[in-house]
Amino acid sequence: MGIEIERKFLVQGDGWRGQSPGAVYRQGYVLASQGRTVRVRVAGTTGFLTLKGGAQGLTRKEFEYEIPLAEAEELLLLMCDRPLIEKTRYHIPYQGLIWEVDEFAGENAGLILAEVELTSETQTVPIPDWIGTEVSSDPRYYNAFLSRHPFRLWGGLDS
């Protein structure tokens, strides 16, 4: 059984740039309801189908399966709500952890988030100086929410 434990933060500054080549991601949601999601993702040249359960604290069930790229592309085209999530993901190592920095494009351009996956909710996390406010418990920053309420419509981060 898959489990995901992660913390999510806004990114401030450019101290993370240049540390990793980015990979372009496109993803869409077949279902996003009551904290559960069924997501289709194309990451570079690989397709994925992911099912996530509702969060309990920082933990949620996650099941991810690689699928043929052509099928992922077709699912994105025919089965997913609009707008799709478009972003470039960068993997930034910092003090023994890997931070995933997502620089959004398209309808969510201007938003940059960083996530770090943990082995437990109580794990100590060294915070890089380019990390800003923690938004782990703010559902507005979930990709499923962003697909229905794009960042460009928010009118600023405090909305």
Enzyme catalytic residues: 29
**In what helix (H) or strand (E) does residue 143 lie, and over which residues does it extend?**
helix 143-148
Cα separation, 120 vs 59, whole angstroms: 8
Strands 23-33 and 59-67: unpaired
Cα separation, 22 vs 102, whole angstroms: 9
| Tokens matching residue 87 | 């972003």
For the chain, first and last CA: distance in Å?
36
Name the 3-class secondary structure at 73: helix
All residues at 6 or more sequence positions from 127 whose CB lies less than 8 Å from its CB, including other chains: 9
